[in-house]
A and B are shown apart, each in its own frame.
Chain A
Amino acid sequence: MGIETTFDIAYDSDEEARLIARFSSTYTGAKIIENAFVTMANDIINSAVVVDYGFKKIRHAPLEEDNLSALEIDEEAQGVSVATTTTVGDLTTMTTPEGY
């Protein structure tokens, strides 16, 4: 007997996916029907389940204006009135005069 060489051909996963996409499923007809029934059964089972999500609730005291300041008394109005003018003239640049 001579040397027997075997070589298993395997598709790359991407290539296989594209072939399936182009030529449809590689499954047999029986398998396709079986898968369809399994999917349908799962849907029926899941639809019968009522899921109740329980949220943990941590109650906090509501945030109010009183929580924003410890000093509640409003500031008193001041009786300050100011009108002043200082003028230093005859400058030939934009350099701030000394002392100002």
Chain B
Amino acid sequence: MAKELKIIDTNVFSGSRETFRTAVGGYWETLSASAGEQVDPIYYYNSEDSAVDDPYNPFLSLVHQNTDLQETLSEDVIIPNYRFPLRVVGNPDNVKSDDHWKTIFLGGTFGDVNYDGIYTNATFDNYSFDYELPYPKQESKYILDSSDLDSVIQITCEYNHHLPKYEEYIKRLDSELLIPNIYLLKMYEEYPGSADEELGIEIPTFVENFVTLEGTYETATSLLEPVEDEIDTEGNIINMEDSLIYQYLTSSIVITSLSASTTAHIKNRFQNLLFDNNFIESDTYVDMSESTDMVPFYIKFNFNAEHLTYDADGDLITDKIGHSLGNNNSANKWLKTLKEIFTNQITLTPEEQEVVVQTSYFSGSTDLTTNTYKIDGTTKSYKSIDYMDMLLYMYKNYISTTDDCYFMGANRKIRQATMDTSGSSRYYNSINVIQTINETIEYISSTSNFSITSLEDLYHLTPSYHETLAYRIEKIGGPPAGDSQTQNVLQNFWFSNTDAFMDETTEFYDTQVKYGQDYTYNVYAYALVIGAKYNFSDLTLSRQIGSIDAEDYSDTPYCTEFYNPDSGEASVQLFDSESNLETQEANQFATNAQVMSANKHLADFYLNYEPSIKIIEIPIASKTLKVMDSPPNQLNVIPYQMMDASQRIGYTLYYEIFNNTATYPTSITSNDAKMKSDYLHAKDLLGTDYLDEESISKQRYIQVYRLDEKPTAMTDFQNNLIATIDLKNTKTLSTKSVQDFIQKVRTNTQYYYVFRALNEQYVPGHMTEIYEAQLINDGGYIYSIFNVLFEEDLEEDVFVNPSKSFKKLFHLTPNLAQLTLRTEDVDYAEPAHTQIGNMGVGDVDDLIWGKQFKIRLTSKKTGKKIDLNFTYNLESD
């Protein structure tokens, strides 16, 4: 199952300028339904699929065609082209007059009504066809029950070996094209340069110089031989460092400069790498997966290409147009011309083909519980080129005008002829293209491949025939340039579509990439579509010139005359070669312009048509990614206290073995989060997926984070990095896997520590648990407490009822001066109860009794405020 594309030519869409379609049916339109809007077909009124019996235009009742009068439109044209007459019959109940009939066809105003006109002599074409798109790998992982998906595209990276010198070297290169290419290395193994004179096959000198480093590296013929055994016969451990490719990449290419000539050739020719039929079917391409383990890193492509030779049932197909390119040795020239057209290098430039694309596909959910079926319709513009124009260009331009490309493989005649700049291969190039043109014409002349015998055939909404002839992978990268700061196209890979090109087991590898650099890859398919090009011409309309009352002519009571609506002059009917007035000897003066008819209103015009073939560029996928190493392993932590008065605590940190049941490490910094997002995207992983690839580069650093307060999330450790420990011994170049970290701390203070490892590529690994550490000084006796907190422990409860009652939390006591008793007016000689009113409380000018006060509490953490209002009341018993 794949994403299903319905690519609809805008000509066959409601609202297009092809108004006759709208009148009789055979178009698409947007319809509303309960689940949204979608594009639906409105079939030709007289077809089996149609729900109506009459044309949609109420002024029409019938459309006939007379294919007995089919004739060739032009003998000068080499592709088949025909015309036959159509007759449209007006609906007598709705057409009011001959003038009204004319207005219905040509447009204008009749009475108070405006008419657009259903007739136009503009030329239209229709290349509507169906296509299948693969699901992007990461998108497919969200889909429930995705086992039914058999069409998935994956663009991902592989990091096999950490070779710092190699990475440093290619980082300094000003062009990715100068990075070793695995296909060239493999090719050189099979065709070892001009030295192989016996085979008569050689590769170009600049390629030989590139691979052999100007001839200084003599064993380039066995660079990709895999290191098969881990232990050799003498018991020595064999690893990557013992391989030839290791020496080649880390030493030879680093110290050997390529000549200016070789560099210039590589930078020019490798802008477009062309993979023709012969190369794709060779062992160099097909068996490449056996050698990929030997290269440090690369970008990998895999999807199910549309097969050209075998159908879905595995049955052999031999009669496709694409086969004529291969059979006539013109596939190479065609591929190179395709490159020139779609990179705008020659006068023949692609057109923008406006289409409506309706995509039907399944979409998953992030929790993987349900699927959604979606149908999206949108207007798009696809680049296209006329196939016959392209063949004609190839025929006329037998001399190569561009040289920014290289055909992978040895110097075969077919490749050399394509790159011919002198004309020495003129005959070879010309005869091959002519044979291809002849076979193409033969193909489209066959009625089994293209046939229109009625308006229904033309207006039927069956998808046009298509076959995919080629694919392109466009690589964009490098520093942004220009006012718009866009990245440039670095390279294009062009592939002839053979069955060996790409399937479940065959992949393509791009090794000409730098570590950690973003590259955008756009994958395109080039589909050949056989459509129809047509127009209407020679419109003649009828006008009534009499009526016949005779009983013998009761079936044809109307005597009408056909006329040219532009000039108003009588014009012969098109639908029949003779008038029935003549054949029935009803009127000896009648010409073929005057007829007896059963219908009052008639219109004749020609349908002119021809097959038309286009190559349409269809975007298949696009992805921006970078080569990345996997995160390093977790650390195991053992805390301890120095048993002295130094107030030091320590941690012994062990680098653990790989755990294949762990997800991507938790992020602390925004940079971590970006790295995580990039890695999961590059590897097509979900956040919940376990990582099954271990870090290739060794552990290099340990980062120590510390907080003085309990964190509420791991991100609280951001900006609290207190130490970075380098595990590498710069003298021995060995890397430690055990390391101690000791720190002096204050007593009776809680600290929160967390640790993580970084590999040589600065990729952070898993965080350890959080260690809550405290040195207790209990009257001079110092002891430590270590508690372990897990990430889950940091989650704070969500407060349901944030209010909590309390009492005796505050005790507000007035100043003593406010409580002092004033007794100067008290007469102690009298009974006490009589003097209580003479006694005062407070010996200050501004007493607090009976006054209202406010206390405001402000949270240091949240800044929120609480106001408490209270009054001091003086009471007496």
- Chain A contacts to B: CB under 8 angstroms: 63-94, 96-97, 100
Contact = CB atoms under 8 A, between A and B. Distances in A.
Contacts of B780: none
Contacts of A86: 33, 35-38, 374-376
B81 to A, nearest CB: 4
Interface in B604-621: 608-610, 612
A10 B761 CA distance: 82
Contact of B145 (A79, A83, A94): A94
B37 A87 contact: no
13 contacts: A68-B79, A71-B123, A78-B17, A82-B13, A82-B377, A83-B377, A83-B378, A84-B39, A85-B37, A90-B370, A91-B144, A94-B362, A94-B371
B610 A93 contact: no
B74 A80 contact: no
Contacts of B77: 66-70
A71 B609 CA distance: 8
B719 interface: no
Given A78-B354, A94-B149, A89 B372 contact: yes
B78 interface: yes
Contacts of A72: 123
Contacts of B395: 63
Contact of B15 (A80, A85, A87, A90): A80
Contact of B378 (A71, A82, A89, A92): A82
B73 to A, nearest CB: 4
Contacts of B517: none
A100 B392 contact: no
B389 A65 contact: yes
B145 A100 contact: no
A43 to B, nearest CB: 29
Nearest to B33: A86
B1 interface: yes
Nearest to B534: A71
B38 A80 contact: no
Contacts of B38: 84, 86
In this complex, the member of B124, B371, B388 whose beta carbon has the largest number of chain A beta carbons within 10 angstroms is B371
B78 A79 contact: no
Contacts of A93: 144-145, 371
Given A76-B122, A94-B143, A94-B148, A87 B373 contact: yes
Contacts of A77: 354
A7 to B, nearest CB: 46
A66 B386 CA distance: 13
Given A71-B123, A77-B354, A78-B354, A92 B370 contact: yes
Contacts of B81: 69-71
Contacts of B392: 63-65, 68
B535 interface: yes
Interface residues of B, number: 62
Contacts of A65: 389, 392
B533 A78 contact: no
Interface in B37-86: 37-39, 73-74, 76-79, 81
A64 B386 CA distance: 14
A81 B73 CA distance: 34
Nearest to A66: B76
In this complex, the member of A69, A76, A90 whose beta carbon has the largest number of chain B beta carbons within 10 angstroms is A69
Contacts of A82: 13, 30, 39, 356, 377-379
Contact of B388 (A68, A70, A87): A68
A80 B373 contact: no
A71 B610 contact: yes
B373 A76 contact: no
Given A80-B379, A84-B38, A69 B30 contact: no
B608 A76 contact: no
Contact of A69 (B121, B354, B376, B533): B533
Interface string B390-403: 00100110000000
B673 to A, nearest CB: 30
Tell me if A's interface is mostly helix, strand, loop or mixed.
loop
Contacts of B11: 75, 78
B16 interface: yes
B366 interface: no
Given A73-B535, A80-B13, A89-B373, 8 more contacts: A69-B533, A75-B124, A78-B18, A79-B16, A83-B379, A87-B35, A87-B372, A88-B35
B136 to A, nearest CB: 16
Contacts of A63: 78, 392, 395-396, 437
B36 A78 contact: no
A95 to B, nearest CB: 8
A88 B376 contact: no
Contacts of A80: 10, 13, 15-16, 354, 356, 379
Contact of A71 (B149, B358, B372, B608): B608
In this complex, the member of A64, A67, A94, A100 whose beta carbon has the largest number of chain B beta carbons within 10 angstroms is A94
Given A70-B73, A92-B371, A76 B17 contact: yes
B13 to A, nearest CB: 5
B351 to A, nearest CB: 9
Contacts of B145: 92-94
B360 interface: yes
A73 B536 CA distance: 11
B78 A85 contact: no
A91 B13 contact: no
B533 A67 contact: no
Contact of B373 (A75, A78, A91): A91
B122 A81 contact: no
A74 to B, nearest CB: 7
Contacts of A81: 379
Interface in B105-136: 121-125
Nearest to A72: B123
A78 B10 contact: yes
Contacts of B534: 71
B146 interface: yes
A72 B612 CA distance: 12
A51 B610 CA distance: 49
Contacts of A78: 10-11, 13, 15-18, 354
Contacts of A87: 35-36, 372-374
A83 B39 CA distance: 9
A11 to B, nearest CB: 33
Nearest to B433: A63
A85 B371 contact: no
Contacts of A89: 370, 372-373
